[in-house]
Chains A and B, each alone.
Chain A
Amino acid sequence: MKFDLDEQQIAFQQGVADYLAAECPVSRALEPHDHGKPDFALWRGLMQLGIGGIVVPEEHGGLGLGLLDLAVVMEPIGRHAAPGPFLDHALGTLALTVAGTDAQKAEWLPALATGEKRATVALAEGKGEWFADQWTMEAKPTLTGEKHHVLHAEGTDAIIVGLAGGRLALVRGDAPGLSVTPTLSTDAGRQLCTVAFADTPCEPLEGAAGARLVDAGLVLLAADAFGGASRAVDMSVAYAKEREQFGRPIGAFQGLKHQLADMAVTIEPAVGLYWFAAHVWDTDPAAAPLQAALAKSLITENYARATRRMTEAHGGIGYTWEYGAHVWLKRALFDQAYIGMPRALRARVADLSGW
């Protein structure tokens, strides 16, 4: 019986945490919010540490590990609310790993593993239509239509597009008829784009791995949210110890103490939810949709609440641009909404439970 990270996972997680502790202070996480441009440099730095190859098979230059290994490095990325294409590139790489043809794998995976090339995923069609069973776009054999909320599509080398029947296809970044329109996003650390296809050539992946890809996205968002939420607890605690009023640290007052405790009990015990969802994705695919929806709905919703409470617990300073509490507030809103709001995921949980 073991339910914990192993040494290698802890080492990976620590490596990413150390890098981001050095390279991604709050001021860095704030930069995209200031100038509205995406940050690719942090991502390149982490690619050099090897995180791009975690799920890539060894024969294509990766480590051949699983989603759990990938999710545990998402946690420090979320903890620092690091700006950059971590989520989208991880999902694009994962899609090709699980469903790419041999030729696609050979062409793309080595370069995606190193970060020499970049990939993203295009899932959502209309409002709330994130899920594979809602996709209607078809390859005839070219693509025509729009996908929304595609991360960092500008300048990407490959877009993995979700199609009707849960199928996936690859569109090259320089494909004819492809147009990308960036939108200013609430979480400026993650650039959203609308992607339009007009008779655009695409290259189908094998099978119908769309639902697997969506579940992996839910797990990675849950991991990102857990990291950010535990940071929100820690920042609130640190401020409560440091800030003095009425001659004592405000953390001595029960009103605040109880708020912080209430925040913490919704977050710290939840780490196992994302671990288990990732583990199940790796080992028991049939059970993954339920576990991924449970993890993502609970953790991201509690993350969003925690960042509101953190902002409040800081008083006036929490509401300032410079202090940066809003970086996590906005990241939490992103994690909550991306690939389905908690409410939508709970509806899926109810269906999957046979209620």
Chain B
Amino acid sequence: MAIDLNFGPEHEAFRREVRDFLSREWREGRDAAEFRETAVAAGYLYRAVPRRFGGSEQAPDSIKASIIAEEFARARAPHEIKGVGVQMLVPTLLERGEEWQKEKFVRKTLLGEYKWAQGYSEPGSGSDLASLRTRGELVGDKWVINGQKVWTSYAHEADFLFALVRTEPEASKHAGISYLLLDARQPGVTIRPLRQITGGQDFNEVFFDNAETPADWIVGQRGEGWSVSKSLLKHERNMLGGIDRSEAMFDSLVKLAQRATIDGQPAIKAGWVRDRLAALKAELEMQRHSGHIQISRALSGGDAGLLQMMGKLVQSNYAAAIAETATQIIEDEALVSPVGNRRPGNERWVMQYMNSLAAAIAGGTSNIQRNIIAERGYGLPRDGE
């Protein structure tokens, strides 16, 4: 059979096991850290991380990862801690770090005791990241760092930074960069929050003025920072994660259309609203099936590289299309600020209107995604090199 969306008896049994665990162990109000420890012990969280560093050390299984994510979300139970520490630094350390670095940082990062920010982008180096100019100089047993990072999310809450720093000024562009860890709370580091279009403050400018870090707080060798930053642990991906977000947005939009009125009628009875919703439903199903194909190929050891490459652009386009439709539906309510007013109404969609832009910028802008698809996906000549 070519299409069978059942996960098979083994995985359905696994789902029951996860449900039993959750009904036994999770209740609203239980301490999240304590619950996470139980969930790690049971093998459900941090599955790619060895036990000795605080993970649950399970064999890679994308379907199990999807089932765990689904069931934890359904029970509203705390899942893995989010953020660049868990998602980027830990896999990088496990792949390229020294043993003492793993021992020192991984467990506490997984528990949320160490918070991290990622020092990559600079004012002059965004999409062309490898042109970065923040300098690191080895003076005695310390790196002395000078320069500036920007768009550094959650740096104001971070204990540490992992940063790309130019340590070999004589070497070529990519070969002159090292991957350094440093204490975010020291006199040489100044963190200045940047206000976002939503009015919130999640990202920052970070200034290094003779900031210091020990000589051995380097991951990989000198000049290997670029490849270290690209190293990906072969950890399982929950390939349906993006679909869940798209589906949640779509469901909310349908509810909005049922609640809001246009010309005195429910918006969902307007022909153009029905047309837009049906088009968005088709795009949602497209994303769902694309996810299924990726899982299916991963299970059979095949390749879905092109579909995987397209995921981010498809999802951020989708979020933008949802935003456009929602603002058309809420009409005058788009005039009302989504923050600071008393009445929480449909103007909250103005926030989604702005948030959907963050999706198209953060983690590689949509134009960079287009380059990746065209160059790596279809083999078109690389630009500007």
Q: Which residues of A are at the interface with B, using a C-beta cutoff of 8 A?
A: 1-6, 9, 68, 233, 237, 240-241, 248-249, 251-254, 257-258, 260-262, 264-265, 268-273, 275-276, 279, 291, 294-295, 297-298, 343, 345-347, 349-350, 353, 355
| Partner among B4, B279, B367 whose Cβ is within 8 Å of the Cβ of A298 | B279
Residue among B279, B282, B297, B373 with the highest chain A CB neighbour number at 10 A: B282
Residues of A within 8 A of B374 (CB): 251, 257-258, 260-261
Within 8 A of A (CB), among B293-320: 293, 295-297, 299-300, 302, 306-307, 310, 313-314, 317
Flag the segment in B6-14, B89-97, B228-236 that touches A.
B6-14
- B48-56, B116-124, B377-385: which lies at the A interface? B377-385
Partner of A3, one of B3, B275, B379: B3
The 4 closest A-B pairs by CB, nearest first: A272-B289, A346-B278, A350-B274, A3-B292
Q: Give the contacting residue for A350; candidates B277, B286, B288; CB below 8 A.
A: B277
B180 contacts partner chain A, Cβ-Cβ < 8 Å: no
Q: Say whether B281 faces chain A, with CB atoms less than 8 Å apart.
A: yes
* Contact, CB under 8 Å: B7 / A1: yes
* A269 engages B310 (CB within 8 Å): yes
What CA separation (Å) do A253 and B306 show in the bound complex?
21
Q: Which residues of A contact B258 (CB under 8 A)?
A: 355
Residue of A1, A241, A279, A347 touching B63 (CB-CB under 8 A): A1
Across the two chains, which residue of chain B brings its CB closest to A68? Answer: B2
Among B2, B283, B290, B381, contact of A6 (Cβ-Cβ < 8 Å): B2
Task: Please state if A3 and B295 are interface contacts (CB–CB under 8 Å).
Answer: yes
Q: What count of chain B residues pass the 8 Å CB interface test?
A: 57
User: B375 within 8 Å of A by Cβ?
Assistant: yes
A297 contacts B282, C-beta separation under 8 Å = yes
Question: Is the Cβ of B371 less than 8 Å from the Cβ of A269?
Answer: no
Question: 19 pairs across A/B with beta carbons < 8 Å?
Answer: A1-B4, A2-B3, A2-B299, A3-B5, A252-B380, A254-B370, A254-B371, A257-B375, A261-B371, A262-B370, A265-B373, A291-B285, A297-B279, A347-B274, A347-B278, A349-B278, A349-B281, A350-B274, A353-B281
Residues of B within 8 A of A273 (CB): 282, 285-286, 289
| A261–B370 CB distance below 8 A | yes
What residues of A have a CB within 8 angstroms of the CB of B268 in the complex? 355
Q: Is the pair A252, B381 in contact by a Cβ cutoff of 8 Å?
A: yes
B370/A258 in contact, CB under 8 A: yes
Q: Report which of A1, A275, A343 forms a contact with B275, defined as CB distance below 8 A.
A: A343
Contact flag A275-B2 (CB < 8 Å), given A1-B11, A261-B374, A355-B257: yes
Q: In the complex, what distance in Å separates the CA atom of A269 from the CA atom of B310?
A: 8
Closest to A270 in B: B286
In the bound complex, CA of A347 to CA of B278 (Å): 7
Asked if B249 is an interface residue, CB under 8 A from chain A, the answer is no
Most chain A Cβ neighbours within 10 Å, of B271, B274, B379: B274
Q: Which residues of A contact B275 (CB under 8 A)?
A: 343, 346-347, 350
Question: Roughly how many angstroms separate A231 CA and B379 CA in the complex, as a whole number?
Answer: 16
Question: Which residues does chain B contribute within 8 Å of A275, judged by CB atoms?
Answer: 2-3, 289
Known A-B contacts A257-B371, A261-B313; A3 and B380 likewise in contact (beta carbons under 8 Å):
no
Residues from chain B with a CB closer than 8 A to the CB of A279 are 2-3
Distance (whole angstroms) from the CB of A89 to the closest CB of chain B = 23
Interfacial chain A residues near B373, Cβ < 8 Å: 261, 264-265
A237 touches B296 (CB 8 A): no
- Please give me the residue from chain A that is nearest to B375 by CB atom: A257
B163-182 contacts to A, CB under 8 A, are none
**A247 vs chain B, min Cβ distance (A):** 12
CA distance A254 to B370 in the complex (A): 9
Q: A1-B299, A272-B293, A343-B275 are in contact. Are A237 and B4 (CB under 8 A)?
A: no
A293 CB, nearest partner CB in chain B, Å: 8
Residue of B whose beta carbon sits closest to that of A268:
B306
Task: Among B3, B11, B287, point to the contact of A269 (Cβ < 8 A).
Answer: B287
List the A side residues contacting B367 at CB < 8 Å.
Answer: 254, 258
* Contact (Cβ within 8 A) A237 B378: yes
A241 & B380 in contact (Cβ 8 Å cutoff): yes
Also in contact, A257 and B292, with CB within 8 A (given A68-B3, A269-B287, A355-B274): no
